[in-house]
Amino acid sequence: MSRAVRFAPLALLLAIIAALVWRLATPTDTNVHSTLEGKPVPAFDLPAIIPGKPALSSAHLATGQPHLVNVFASWCVPCITEVKVLQALKQRGVHVDGIAVRDRTADLADFLARNGDPYERIGSDAQSQVQISLGSSGVPESFVVDGKGVIRYQQIGPIEASDIPTILSQLGRAR
Amino acid sequence: MKRLLLLATLFLAQPLLADSNLPPAYWSERQLPDPRQEAEAQALMEQLRCLVCQGQSIADSDAELAGDMRDLVRRRIAAGEKPDAIRAWLIQRYGTWISYKPTDEPAAWPLWLAPIALLLVGGWLIRRRITVRRS
Amino acid sequence: MIAETGLAALWLAAGLAGLQFVLMIASLRSGAEVRGAMRSIAIVQGALTLLAFAMLLLVFARSDMSVALVFENSNSAKPFIYKLAGTWGNHEGSMLMWVTILAVAGAFVAILAHRTSERTLTAALGAQAVLALGFYAFLLFASNPFARLWPAPEDGRGLNPLLQDPGLAFHPPTLYLGYVGLSVAFSFAVGALLTGEVDSRLARAMRPWVLGAWILLTLGITAGSYWAYYELGWGGYWFWDPVENASLMPWLAATALLHSINVLAARGALKAWTMMLAVIAFSMSMVGTFLVRSGILTSVHAFAIDPQRGTFLLALLAIYVGAAFTLFALRAPSLKEGAPFELVSRESGLVINNLILSVILGVVFVGTLYPLFVEALSGEKLSVGAPYFDAVAGPLALLLAVLVGAGPLIAWRRERRPVFKQLAIPALLGATALAITIILWPEMRILPRLGFLIAAYLAAASILPLVGRNPLRAPLATWGMVVAHFGIAVALVGMAANAAFTSERLVVDKPGEILSVGPWAVTLASVTPTAGKNYTAIEAELRAARGNDLITLSPETRYYSDPPTETNESAIRTFWNGQLYTVVGKQDVSGAWQLRLWWKPFVTLIWAGGALIAIGGALALLGRFWRPLRRRMISARERRSRRYA
C-alpha cells in the first residue's frame, strides 16, 4: 500500500476537523436573509386594517422619501418593546410604515393603544403573502426602502436602541 | 359537572405559543381538486425548506408560515404556473437555501460528482484485489 | 446522597480507566504480565459506571428536584415510565448512558473474549479504557449529570412532550447500545494494530461483538423511523435529517464491516480494509454524537446547542480517530495481503458489496456536511435534503439489492458452477412483478416500479441458499443470512408500496360529511375537549367503514403546559394490508376541522423488514454459540448410545 493511500484517511480527517473547528468558532447566523437587498420592492397592494389608518402599497414606497417598512404583528412578543424604538425613530423624522402579518383589527387596535402607534400606514397581510414576497422569514423584521422603491437594508429581529444609529445611517444613504 | 367545567376552562385557555390568532390559509390544508396538479404541488412542497423549522420541508411542517407557503404553492400551481418557476421565484427572495433540491449552480456540482468520484476511487483501490484468471 | 454516590462512582471509574491505560503502555513496552489485573480492573470499572447510571435513574425516579438535571428535564406530574426514560432524554443523561455502555462493554469483553491472544486482548482493553477516559473527562468537567441545585425548587420544567412516548423508552437505549457496541470493534482493531496480530483469529473474536452491535443498531434505527412516522403526523418515515444520517452512517460501516470480517475470518484476507472499517464505524458513532450535541447542524433531533461542549467532543474525536488513523498508516505495510481473488468468487462479491456500501456511506457523509463546507469556503448557504439523497443513495441501494441476491450463491475461492442459471427463477419472478405493475398501474413512477421488481427477485433469490438441502440441517448462520436478506426485500416492498399506493386526503371537514380515502369512507362524528395527566386536548372521533369493517379512530391535538407545546397524536389502525392514519388539526373560520387522512397499503412491511434484518442477525449470532453447544450435546448423546451398543 503506497504512502499516499495509507495517509489519505488521516489527511481527510484533518481537513474535516479543520472545517468543523471553523464552524464552531464562527457564530452561526441561523437567520435566512432576504436576497432582495438592492432590488426593487415587489409590487403589492395591501388593504387597510385599522379604520382611519391608511393602507399600504408598493406605490407609497416610491414617492422620493426613504421609508422604514416594519413587518410586525400584535401576537409578536418582541414587537412590544420594538414599538418604543420605532417611536424614537419617528420623532427623528423617519417615515415608518407597517405590514401587519396574520392580524385582526381588534387585536391590532388593542396592541397600538397599549404600546403606541408610530406607523403612518399599516397594510394587512392576512396570509403572509407580502411577507414571503419580500423574502422575510419571521416577525419582527424591518426594511429600509429608498425613495425610488429599492430595498437597501434588512434588519432581522427587533430594532433595539443600539441599532438606531445603523438604521439612521442606512436611511441617510438611501436618500 | 365540576369536571366538565374544568375541562371547558382548560380547553378555552390558549396555549402560550407564538402563533397568530387567524385560522390557517385556505389551501394550506386542502388538496387541489385536480390530482395531477396536487401531485405536482406535493412534489414541489417536499423540496422547499420551512423557514422557521429545524430542518423540515413545508410539506411536513405544522408551522403557520409553512402553511402559508403551501397555500402559495397550491394557488400558483392551480393557476397554471410551473413548479420550477415557483421554485425560482422563491430562490430569488430567499436564496438557494430554501430549495432542498440542489440547483444546477456551480456550488452544487461537487454533490453530483461525489458518487462518481467515490466509485472511481473505490474501484481503483480494489483493482489489485480481483483478477480475471484466463484458464 | 444518591447523586454524590453516583458522582463518586464516576470519578473512581475514571481513575480505573486511567490505570488501565498505564497498564496497557507497560504491557506493550516491557511485556509486563498484566492480563489478570487488566481484566479485573475492566470489570470493576464497568460495575462502577453502571452504579453511577443506576444512581441517576434513582434520582429521576424519585423526582429529586435538588439535582439540576432532574429539575430541567422532569416533573412530578409525569407518568412514571417517562420519569425513568427521561433520564436519557437529555444531553447529560444520555452521555452518561453512552459512557456506561462503553465501560460495561469493556467489562464484558474482559469476561467473555477468549479467542484472541492475551497480548491483543490487553491492548484492546487498554484502548477501550482510553476511549472511556476521554468521555469520563467530558462528563465530569463539561456535562456533570449530578450537579446540585440549591435551594431545591418545588417542581421541574418537565420533559418535551414529543419525547413523552414509549419510543423514548426503546429507541435511544437500543441505538446507543449499537453505537457504543461498535467501540469494541474499534478497540480490537486498535489493539491488533498495536500488537501486529491482524489475522483470521482476530476476525473470529471480533465477529460476535460486531454482530451484536449491528443488530441493536438496526433495531434502534427501525424503531426511530416508526416513532417519527406516527409522532410527527405527516406519514413520513425517513427525512435524511442530519441526525438520522448520523445513525445511518455507523450502520452502513457496520454492515460493510460485518461482511468483510467474514472474509478475514475465512481467508485471512482484506486485513487492512477490515481494520479501517472497524475504526470508521465507531468514528461515525462519535461524529454522530458530536453533530447532535454541538449545534452546528440544524435538526429536529438536536438536543444540546452548546459550541463549548461541541469543541470538547470535537477534540476527543480528533484525538481518537486521528490516533487510530495514524496507527493504521504506520502499521499498514506490515499487513500482508494474500493472493488476489478470483472474479467470480464469494470474496470478490463481498469486496464489491463493501465498495457499494462504502460509496453510499461516503455520499451520505458528503451530503450531510456539504452545506457546512460550502458556507466555510464561500459563505453561501445551500440546503441538501431528500431530493439529493434519494436520487443518489436510492439507485446505489437498488444495485446493491440486486447483488445481494447473487452473492450468497457464489462459492468461496472460485465458483465453477453457472450461478446465473440458479438466478433464472428469481429473475423470472422479478420480471413477472414488473409486468403486473405495468399492466395494473401504468402510471406508477419508475422508482417504485423498480422497487417491486427488485424486491420480488430478491425475495426469491435470498431463499435459494436453503433450497436443495435439508433446511433443518442448515447452519443457523445460513438461516440468519437468508432471513436478513429476505428482510431487505420485505422492507423494499413496503417502501415501494408506500410510494406508489398511498392515498392522501387533506380536508377541512364538518361533522357529518363523508370523505373517501382509498377504500375507506370516513366521517367526522364529533370533536370534544379532553384531558390527560399533564395535558389538555381536543379529540376528534372518526368513523371509518370499508366493506364490512367499521372502526372508530380518535386522533388528538394535545396542549402541554410544562413546557408549553402543542403536539399531534395521530390515530392509526393497522390491518393486514395497510394502515389507516388519521390526524386532526386546527379549526377553520367556518368552525370546520382540518383533517389529514392516509390509507397506506403495506406500509408496515418497511419496519417488519427492518425487524427481519435484525432477527437474521440474531440467528447468525445464536449460531455462533449454538454450534459448540450442539457439539457437546451430540457427543454426550453418542457416548450414551455407545454405552448401550
Residues in chain B: 135
User: Which among C242, C366, C564 has the least Cβ separation from residue B16?
Assistant: C564
* Strands C535-546 and C556-561, bridge-based pairing: antiparallel
Number of alpha carbons in the 13 Å side-chain half-sphere of residue C526: 3
B130 contact residues in C (CB cutoff 8 A): 340-343, 348, 351
Residue, of C471 and A154, whose pLDDT is higher: A154
Instruction: Please tell me which chains touch B, using 3 or more CB pairs under 8 Å as the contact test.
Output: A, C
User: Nine-digit cell at C412?
Assistant: 468461496
Residue B29 touches partner C, C-beta closer than 8 Å:
yes
Residue, of C67 and B3, whose pLDDT is higher: C67
State the amino acid at position C444 in one-letter form.
M
User: Which among B55, B97, B123 has the least Cβ separation from residue C299?
Assistant: B55
C512/chain B closest Cα distance in angstroms: 18
Q: What is the ipTM of this complex?
A: 0.89
Those residues with Cβ within 8 angstroms of residue C192's Cβ, 6 or more apart along the chain or in another chain: C116, C120, C123, C124, C198, C202, C275
- Interface contact flag, B55 C559, Cβ < 8 Å: no
Query: Considering only CA atoms, which of A82, A60, A53 is closest in space to residue A157?
Result: A82
Collapse the DSSP code of C211 into the 3-class scheme (helix H, G, I; strand E, B; otherwise coil) and give the result. helix
Those residues with Cβ within 8 angstroms of residue C642's Cβ, 6 or more apart along the chain or in another chain: none
Residues of chain C above pLDDT 70, percent: 99
- Interface contact flag, C369 A16, Cβ < 8 Å: yes
Q: What is the mean pLDDT of each run of 10 residues along chain B (135 residues)?
A: 38 44 87 93 95 89 92 96 95 93 85 94 86 63
Rounded mean pLDDT, A131-157: 93
| Confidence (pLDDT) at B13 | 31
CB atoms inside a 10 Å sphere around CB A114? 10
User: Which among B25, B51, B93 has the least Cβ separation from residue A127?
Assistant: B25
| Confidence (pLDDT) at C492 | 97
A44 contact residues in B (CB cutoff 8 A): none
Residues of chain C above pLDDT 90, percent: 61
Q: What is the pLDDT of residues C310-346, one digit of tens each?
A: 899 999 999 999 999 999 999 998 888 877 888 888 8
Residue C378 touches partner B, C-beta closer than 8 Å:
yes
| Confidence (pLDDT) at C645 | 60
Rounded mean pLDDT, C604-628: 92
| pTM for the predicted model, two decimal places | 0.92
> Are C563 and C73 in contact, with CB atoms under 8 Å apart?
no
Residue B63 touches partner A, C-beta closer than 8 Å:
no
Give residue for cell 433520564.
C87
Helix axes B64-78, B35-45, angle to 10 degrees: 140
| Confidence (pLDDT) at B12 | 32
Residue B7 touches partner C, C-beta closer than 8 Å:
yes
Q: Which B residues 57-116 touch C at CB under 8 Å? A: 57, 59-60, 62, 95-102, 107-108, 110-112, 114-115
| Confidence (pLDDT) at B18 | 59
Quickly count helices (H) and strands (E) in chain C.
18, 11
CATH of domain A58-173: 3.40.30.10
- Interface contact flag, A132 B69, Cβ < 8 Å: yes
Q: What is the pLDDT of residues B118-129, one digit of tens each?
A: 999 999 888 878
**How would residue A141 be classed by pLDDT, with cut points 50, 70 and 90?**
very high
Rounded mean pLDDT, C462-472: 87
| Confidence (pLDDT) at C498 | 95
From CA A158, how far away is CA A71, in angstroms rounded?
A: 10
- Every domain of chain B and the residues it spans: 2-102
Cα-based angle C60, C66, C71 (whole degrees, multiple of 5): 60
Helix axes B83-94, B64-78, angle to 10 degrees: 140
C311 contact residues in A (CB cutoff 8 A): 21, 24
The chain C residue lying nearest B122, using CA atoms, is C355
The chain A residue lying nearest B26, using CA atoms, is A127
| Confidence (pLDDT) at C14 | 94
User: Among C64-68, C74-78, C111-115, C302-306, which is the least confidently predicted range?
Assistant: C302-306
Query: Considering only CA atoms, which of C292, C285, C287 is closest in space to residue C178?
Result: C285
Collapse the DSSP code of B48 into the 3-class scheme (helix H, G, I; strand E, B; otherwise coil) and give the result. strand
| Confidence (pLDDT) at C579 | 95
User: Nine-digit cell at C252?
Assistant: 452502513
Those residues with Cβ within 8 angstroms of residue C69's Cβ, 6 or more apart along the chain or in another chain: C56, C90, C92, C93, C145, C146, C147
What single DSSP character describes residue B60? G
Q: What is the pLDDT of residues A41-60, one digit of tens each?
A: 999 999 999 998 999 999 99
Across chain C, mean pLDDT equals 90
From CA C534, how far away is CA C511, in angstroms rounded?
A: 28
From CA C492, how far away is CA C453, in angstroms rounded?
A: 10
**How would residue C160 be classed by pLDDT, with cut points 50, 70 and 90?**
confident
Number of alpha carbons in the 13 Å side-chain half-sphere of residue C618: 11
> Are C84 and C60 in contact, with CB atoms under 8 Å apart?
yes
- Interface contact flag, C341 B130, Cβ < 8 Å: yes
Residue, of C28 and A77, whose pLDDT is higher: A77
A127 contact residues in B (CB cutoff 8 A): 25, 68, 71
From CA C453, how far away is CA C431, in angstroms rounded?
A: 6
pLDDT surpassing 60 at residue C635: yes
From CA A118, how far away is CA A91, in angstroms rounded?
A: 9
From CA C214, how far away is CA C206, in angstroms rounded?
A: 12
CB atoms inside a 10 Å sphere around CB C421? 8
> Are C332 and A6 in contact, with CB atoms under 8 Å apart?
yes
Largest CA distance in chain A: 82
User: Which among B19, B68, B94 has the least Cβ separation from residue A34?
Assistant: B94
User: Nine-digit cell at C340?
Assistant: 488476489
**How would residue C9 be classed by pLDDT, with cut points 50, 70 and 90?**
very high
pLDDT surpassing 90 at residue C304: no
Residue B30 C-alpha from the chain's centroid: 17
A160/chain C closest Cα distance in angstroms: 25
C386 contact residues in B (CB cutoff 8 A): 46-47, 57, 100
- Interface contact flag, A135 B93, Cβ < 8 Å: yes
CB atoms inside a 10 Å sphere around CB A36? 20
From CA C589, how far away is CA B28, in angstroms rounded?
A: 14
What single DSSP character describes residue B99? B
B16 contact residues in C (CB cutoff 8 A): 564
Q: What are phi and psi of C304, to 5 degrees?
A: -155, 110
3-class secondary structure for C84-132? HHHHHCCHHHHHHHHHHHHHHHHHHHHHHCCCCCHHHHHHHHHHHHHHH
The CATH number for B2-102, chosen from 3.30.930.10, 1.10.8.640, 1.10.357.10, 1.10.3720.10, is 1.10.8.640
User: Nine-digit cell at A67?
Assistant: 421609508
Rounded mean pLDDT, C3-23: 93
What single DSSP character describes residue C196? T
> Are A36 and C319 in contact, with CB atoms under 8 Å apart?
no
- Interface contact flag, C355 B99, Cβ < 8 Å: no
Residue A105 touches partner B, C-beta closer than 8 Å:
no
pLDDT surpassing 80 at residue C629: no
Rounded mean pLDDT, C260-272: 90
User: Nine-digit cell at B45?
Assistant: 412542497
Those residues with Cβ within 8 angstroms of residue C488's Cβ, 6 or more apart along the chain or in another chain: C401, C404, C458, C462, C609, C613
> Are C560 and C534 in contact, with CB atoms under 8 Å apart?
yes
C365/chain A closest Cα distance in angstroms: 11
| Confidence (pLDDT) at A2 | 82
Residue of C355, C375, C530 for testing the chain B interface, max B β-carbons within 10 Å: C355
Residues of chain A above pLDDT 90, percent: 75
pLDDT surpassing 80 at residue C262: yes
Those residues with Cβ within 8 angstroms of residue C267's Cβ, 6 or more apart along the chain or in another chain: C200, C338, C347, C412, C413
A94/chain B closest Cα distance in angstroms: 26
Residue B6, phi-psi category: left (phi > 0), alpha (psi -120 to 50), beta (remainder): alpha
User: Among B5-19, B89-103, C252-266, C580-594, which is the least confidently predicted range?
Assistant: B5-19
